[in-house]
Amino acid sequence: MTARSKTAKAKPKRARVKSGHPKHAVLMAALVHIPFDGFTDSVLARAAEEADVSGTEMMRLFPEGPLSLVEALSEWADAEMVRTFAHRNLAPLKIRERIAFAVNTRISVLKPHKEAARRAAAFLTLPPHAALALKLLYRTVDAIWRGIGDTSTDFNFYTKRAILAAVYFSTLLRWFSDSSANEQETGDFLRRRIDDVMRFEKFKAQVRERASGLPSLSDIFSPGRRGTTPDRARAKRG
């Protein structure tokens, strides 16, 4: 190993971080050290020192220590993603194009901090952190749906978020291991996942259409109709 490569892999020196908000300043300082040391109390303490944030203020901003630091990273990435949405007219795009744009935007925000994002994901896979992992994933997919203009309030509100959570999380994991040129493999993976969802939605629509011609449960089980078959029920309604 050359002297130059040793220098490239050495931990960065401490530097004062200036930012308008103390929490953001601490996060930005911590992101320099997380790729080397992960989400730890020592990283948080070092970031506080570099951001000139007092211990009392740190207890208020990061009450759960490293867990709060992971949450701060996710909140920052969500906010940056939504800010990008504001500068792009999504109205002309199809829904699949909006979803692809949103997921790619969220990943692009994290790209300069890929190793920190990878460590955050690993940190959240630990059993004690499962509740926070679900909360942060929900916040992200909710921000995506709202950001691309979804206004549903019925049962689809939940199904859309559940489906997108699977698409986003699987794409994020693919991105972590993607070493292809321009991370093309991640883009291809995302397109395939969205195609799968679109096919499933088309299938659901076909099932609903076919089911509309079948008798309801009240037709089948109501008193006096116990012997009614689906064909007879349709004949009666016809």
pLDDT in tens, 133-166: 999 999 999 999 999 998 888 888 999 999 999 9
- Please name the residue that has the structure tokens 């007219």: 89
Q: What percent of the chain has pLDDT over 70?
A: 75
- Which CATH number is correct for 65-237, 1.10.1060, 1.10.357, 3.40.50, 1.10.3210? 1.10.357
| Long-range contacts from 191-196, C-beta under 8 angstroms, 24+ separation | 191/100, 193/166, 193/167, 194/96, 194/99, 194/100, 194/167
Long-range residue pairs from 116-121, CB within 8 A, at least 24 positions apart, any chain: 116/31, 116/34, 116/35, 116/73, 117/73, 117/77, 117/172, 117/176, 118/176, 119/34, 119/35, 119/38, 119/39, 120/34, 120/39, 120/70, 120/73, 120/74, 121/172, 121/173, 121/176
Name the residue ranges covered by the structural domains of the chain. Answer: 1-63, 65-237
CA pair distance 136, 160, nearest whole angstrom: 16
pLDDT digits (tens, 9 = 90+) for 67-94: 999 999 999 999 999 999 999 999 999 9
- Read off the tokens for 191: 């397109």
